[in-house]
Amino acid sequence: MKKYPRTWIWASVGFSIVVISIVLYTTFDENTLVYLRQLDPWFLLLAVLLRIGSLTFWSWRIQVMAHSLGYRVPFSSCWNLVLANLLAGAITPGQAGGEPVRVHELYREKVKVGDATAIVIMERVLDGVVLTIMGLLSVILLGSILRQLSLELIIIMGVGFAFMAMIIVLVFFSAKRPAWTKNHIMRFLHWLERKYNRPSVAKAVTKADGEIDNFFCSMNHFTGKAVRGLIFGSFFTALFWISEFLVASLLLMGLGTPPFVLESFLFQLVIAVIMMIPLTPGSSGIAEISATSLYALIIPSSILGIFVLLWRIVLFYFNILLGLIGGVHIFRREMTGPEEEDDEDLPSSAVCSPGFESPEKDPALQESDRDT
């Protein structure tokens, strides 16, 4: 493993361990030992199995969205790319490192880069839409509990929702004005080409020209002929987040407390939104502080630290373990498998829907191409 991923792993895990240690130190008392003796390991096992189930729903989401664009990606490949994505997400701010991994792995399954990018971006959009709907329902059912939250936490939550909304708006704006978006992207890429003046950069810019067209074509398909991918993608997105949020309730039951399903859904939603803000590697430290602040409202302080530790074991440290397993598989494949194919050899996605035209370059870009 290269030095920089190892450094990020240690930084991410280090942040988490420090915060959890502080929480354990400040909440541990004689009652904590009583709760620990009552801990039911079966609920912990169920929580781990539920986590595996949520990753299965994620894999199915990718598979059906790729299938709607005309690609046959095996479930095993979708499962492995989800695992590989976990490690990258656990060591990058806002878990943003997982997206490039998923795009690369879809490309290795003969999905064009533009189409793979469209799939991954639409995943984020579906996450935002589903979380927003779940948030509105939670506020309606448990609006009174919001008044118990600190002003700082409400502000951070608002920033998280704004960040998520910004991504959704940018995606829909780009899909609405593909020519304008492509022209500005290509202007930037041509500036890089002139700045570095290398054959590899020029080749990448040439490929990007076509892949941007594939991307907008795929985005157009998701609201047209490939709408089936969005429908089933939304279904699996909802199942993913529901199973993800239920992990906390199972852990609470294992510690001998009520599951607090509705309250836990609201808290997990707030934490999920906050974790999308790129603050620390894998949002470590931020997640622990948020969980401690929120669950302190409903569970005894004696088990607060133990609960946060178990919750992060299932949803963070387990991610790193699974990510390492997926990474080893990819490493072996890269070492023994065939060389990657050029984009020209990959099958095209379906023909663009009627009314969609590949974005044309504006005259300024055409003049730039002639100059170079």
Q: Which of 67-81, 96-110, 233-247, 268-282 has the lowest mean pLDDT?
A: 268-282
**Mean per-residue pLDDT, 203-219:** 65
222: Cβ contacts below 8 Å, ≥ 6 apart: 65, 68, 118, 122, 229, 230
| Comparison of pLDDT for 206 and 298, the residue scoring more | 298
Task: Quick: pLDDT tens for 71-124.
Answer: 899 998 899 889 988 887 777 776 666 788 888 889 888 888 878 888 888 888
Task: Quick: pLDDT tens for 182-195.
Answer: 777 777 777 776 77
| Comparison of pLDDT for 198 and 143, the residue scoring more | 198
For residue 303, the surrounding DSSP H or E stretch is: helix 301-312
The most confident of the ranges 46-55, 67-76, 107-116, 200-209 is: 46-55
Distances (CA, A) of 194 to 209, 212, 362: 16, 20, 18
Q: Residue 357, SS3? A: coil
pTM of the model: 0.76
> What is the Cα–Cα distance from 199 to 202, expressed in whole angstroms?
5
Residue 50 has pLDDT above 50, yes or no: yes
